[in-house]
Amino acid sequence: MIRNPLEIQDAVKKIRMLIAGYPGIGKSTLALSAPKPLHIDVDFGIDRIEPRYRKPYIQPASYQEILDDLTPENVKDFDTLVFDTGGKLISLMSLWAIQKDPKYGQRDGSLSLKGYGFVGKEFVRLMDYCFYTLQKNIVIVFHAVEEKDGDNTRLRIKVEGQTKNNVWEPMDLGGFVEIYGNDRTIGFSNCERYFAKGTRGIFGVRKIPALGPTSPNDFLTKLFEEYNATAAAEVEKNAKEQKAYEDAMAAGRAVIGTITDADTANAAMPEYKKIKHTKTSKRELDVEWNAKIKACGLTFDKSAKKYVAPAAPEDKEAK
């Protein structure tokens, strides 16, 4: 079914989110604040979560077990799948890949270059399956590690090899959890300390409210609601801007298409100037205009303020 982009937001969008931070900072508890979560406790770390914040969970011993468990029937009562942690998930995925095909492994049991490629693709496939087929929110938790870069210390997600780049690709949001003073925060904007990912108005650093004896663990539930509320307005705004941009480009290209000589170029000028530009349409069209003028061999006479054709050889001789 072909749909109008202005009508995209007719339902609550499912969200894919990555949470990273130091061990023990409360990432799992934060992840379980998402709506109706199923805790896929790959790390076997549920005992580190306060009992009142624990949610239904599975503790898969192999990646195949995860694949077997994540059927539409099994997860029908959940809105969110929390993978805790992503690093361990990828370790299980790596073992599974090597069992599947020995060429994905090396003698020491680590992944080969081909294996990294395969696991990266499998990760994206799993995320796509959870998102598109199962239609669930996804929250994936990663430990963070420090990396030195000159005088700077940066936080990176703890995953082996190039997989660390692939895990970011499908995510809508990615935030680093840190502690500032007594506050826990999650940052969604790129900064000197880490690479993060924010969209749909979820940017900057957010304070995570402290959990008291009676307070609900619902930070991500509220964040997802905010995301969806903003998303509707932002998608509409972006779609309008995109349409205005495409209209400007189409109008400009139509005018440029009429130019064949100096007369048509001069006739096209007022029409070209009338175009209402959005984003970078003016710069892009100006390149196409100049290319067409050049292709027609025209030059601009600044005093006459119009395009002129190069003088014919006989004219030159007459002069």
Partner 1 sequence: MSYLMTHSLLASWLYIMKDNPYEDATSTRDSYQEFLQTLRREPIPPTEAKAKGIEFEDLCYEIATGNFRPVWEPALNKKGIPKIDPNSGEPMGMTKYPRFYDAASQVADIIRGGQIQYKAKKLVEVNGMEFVLYGRLDTLKAGTIYDIKFSGSYDKGKYVDSTQHPTYMELIPEADQFTYVVSNGQNVWTETYRRDETASIFPVISDFVDWLYAVGLMETYKEHWKSL
Please report, as ranges, the residues that interact with partner 1 according to CB under 8 A: 117, 120, 149-150, 152, 154, 156-157, 162, 164-166, 168-169, 189-192, 194-195, 203, 241-242, 245, 279-284, 287-288
Long-range pairs, 289-298, Cβ under 8 A, ≥24 = 289/252, 289/256, 292/256, 292/259, 293/259, 293/265, 296/259, 296/260, 296/261, 296/262, 296/265, 298/261, 298/262, 298/265
Rank residues 118 and 224 by Cβ distance to partner 1 and give the closer one.
Answer: 118
Least distance in Å: CB of 139 to partner 1?
A: 18
Cβ(265)–Cβ(259) below 8 Å: yes
Rank residues 13 and 156 by Cβ distance to partner 1 and give the closer one.
Answer: 156
Rank residues 53 and 203 by Cβ distance to partner 1 and give the closer one.
Answer: 203
Task: Note the residue count of the chain.
Answer: 319
Rank residues 191 and 233 by Cβ distance to partner 1 and give the closer one.
Answer: 191
Cβ(63)–Cβ(99) below 8 Å: no
Rank residues 49 and 127 by Cβ distance to partner 1 and give the closer one.
Answer: 127
Q: How far apart are CA 241 and CA 244, in angstroms?
A: 5
Least distance in Å: CB of 146 to partner 1?
A: 13
Strand, coil or helix: what is 309? coil
Least distance in Å: CB of 162 to partner 1?
A: 6
Least distance in Å: CB of 239 to partner 1?
A: 12
Rank residues 100 and 282 by Cβ distance to partner 1 and give the closer one.
Answer: 282
Tell me the backbone φ, ψ of residue 35, rounded to 5 degrees.
-65, 135
Least distance in Å: CB of 65 to partner 1?
A: 28
Select from 212, 203, 215, 209 the least CA-distant residue to 185. Answer: 209
Least distance in Å: CB of 242 to partner 1?
A: 7
Q: How far apart are CA 164 and CA 7, in angstroms?
A: 34
